[in-house]
Structure 1
Amino acid sequence: MRIEVHTERCIGSGVCALVAPDLFDQRDDDGVVVLLDPRPAPEQHEPAHEAATRCPASVIELHEAG
């Protein structure tokens, strides 16, 4: 899996950092998402899916390995 985030659309809700803190953080100045691990280990795939699903601005894109 590869994670991509579209920071220009992020509204800084912080849901991603709450549900997957090993994968996402937020910038201190404006709360915009910071991707910590673009290629997470298999045990992090479920939290990545949850973060992507729950993001209110839909800025998290998941690309499955082919």
Structure 2
Amino acid sequence: MRVKCVICDKIETINDETLQAKQLRNRPIHTYMCNDCHIRIAENTKKRIQTGQFRLYKSPVEKDDW
């Protein structure tokens, strides 16, 4: 399966039988990101966390009253 990275527009091929290929075929909302972009974003995020100015906003979890 030929896929295109969302960020850098690099075209790569992945195995048709992998879980990632199945997700891309069945759910169009899923997008592909190449390993280079994935690593670069992870490194930049770690640097931002170390500065102390990074806040991760999570949605509040509602508790069920049983």
Q: Please state which structure has a larger fraction of its residues in helix.
A: 2
- By relative contact order (CA 8 Å, sep 6+), the higher-ranking structure is 1
Same fold (TM over 0.5): no
Q: Which has the higher strand share?
A: 1
Band of TM-score, shorter chain: under 0.3
Q: TM-score with structure 1 length normalisation?
A: 0.23
